[in-house]
Amino acid sequence: MQIRSSLPMRPMSNSRRRTEISQLTVSVVVASRGRPELLPRCLMGVAQSFHPRFEIVLVADPPGLAAARQLPFFGAIKTIGFDTPNLSRARNRGIAAASGEIIAFIDDDAVPEPTWLDRLCAPFDDETVAATTGFVRGRNGISFQWRGETVDFTGQAKCLPVARTQIFPPNPDRIVKLHGVNMAVRRNWLAALGGFDPSFAFYHDDADLGLRIAVAGGHVAVVPDAQVHHGFARSVRRRSDRVPLDLLPIGQSEAIFLRKHAPKAVRAPMLAAQAAAQRRRLLRHMQGGTLDASEVVRLLAGHTEGQEEGLRATLPPTEPLGERQEDFRRFPALFGPPVFLAGPWRHRKALMMEARQRTRRGERVSLLILSRTALYHKVSFVQEGFWLQRGGVWGRARRAQQLIQKTGFAERIGRERRRIALLRGLRSQ
């Protein structure tokens, strides 16, 4: 069970909880490797952002660049070829090419809500704010995968209940955890701190950056309404069902994180505790039938090897990054107002066709298809570039709801429209 942790905080003042959009320029950095089938969907989602002054910086391997090249707006994106398996280095390459005053980060297997960038960047109108992070929805597109969290100098995360935007002052002992899939940082802060530490090829890179920001005196804002959808796609390190394939990078990052931030006296006990936690995790998978005993042994051996490598690794200091070297490439306003479509399952083919046509015309489309069942609801951003929600009239959308919803067809449409209205920029009715 997660332990709740409180930090000193302050809400955004009324003058800063603005309805208008921050005029700071923003660079959205997307790093992609090994997932060319998902990258276009991510870029299409970013392209539909409402923010008026942003650019897209793509750092990708050759297959990723080839996939992105098929998008009609590929020429409006800054692109950098990069095929090294190190997420921190990839993001630093993106930072070097970025020209925005704010740099936002999202993963290639995630899709942002169209209001994401506006909400994520609004707190930067407060000059004390160095970084922001938002909420992340999981596989069904409705339940939350991550919300507010804190992390300490050992890398241990705890729940941080946040209902509306809160700004947290620096506290090096326990900081707000930045989520790399949904975060933004002032460019001048990233430049001064040297960006992400390449010692973290995959894991703890965002927590390490957050700790360095706190030590330097930066405030961090948690923005619940800045939301992205993240499906935990398959990679060289995990399967699509989140079963791990390789724990060496995690063990390595755990050891390096402790070396950088934790007192010597707690390092060995923490490494042992982390190894025990991984063992429990793998045994749960084995009990569930997703891993066999030989795979558990192999993965645990890899985790141990990674910790040992992390303890031996040379840790060069991070060097300040250079000034902006490229002009800001403002992404064109390709999409018009948001629209909401809804109808019954029997009309699904016609509804899907209309959603595709209106997306091709440049509209931001949300489509709800309801069956006369109690099926659970699921939301996804489909490859064609629109939001699709499917489920039963009487099916629940959130896990906390009753299994059977007592509602009618029109009432359920209205309820689901209201649920997404603020996220999609839909007008209230």
Condensed to tens digits (0 to 9), the pLDDT of residues 256-308 reads 999 999 999 999 999 999 999 999 999 999 999 999 999 999 999 999 999 99
More confident residue, 141 or 233: 141
pLDDT at 47 over 70: yes
Q: Worst-scoring range by mean pLDDT, 17-21, 68-72, 187-191, 363-367? A: 17-21
Beta strands in 277-409 (DSSP E): 338-344, 364-371, 378-381, 387-392
pLDDT at 16 over 50: no
Average pLDDT, the chain: 92
- Which pLDDT score is estimated for 2? 33
- Which pLDDT score is estimated for 8? 60
Residue 90 contacts residue 106 (beta carbons within 8 Å): no
Q: For residues 54 and 124, give the distance between their C-alpha atoms in angstroms, rounded to a whole number.
A: 15
pLDDT 10s digits, 333-389: 999 999 999 999 999 999 999 999 999 999 999 999 999 999 999 999 999 999 999
Ordered by start, the domain boundaries in the chain are 10-230, 248-312, 338-424
pLDDT at 9 over 70: no
CATH code for the domain defined by 10-230: 3.90.550.10
- pTM for this model (two decimals): 0.92
Q: At what angle do helices 205-215 and 248-261 cross, to 10 degrees?
A: 10
> 413, 339, 429: which is closest to 372 by C-alpha?
413
pLDDT band per the 50, 70, 90 thresholds, residue 170? very high
The DSSP H or E segment spanning 220 is strand 219-230
- Which pLDDT score is estimated for 237? 73
pLDDT band per the 50, 70, 90 thresholds, residue 164? very high
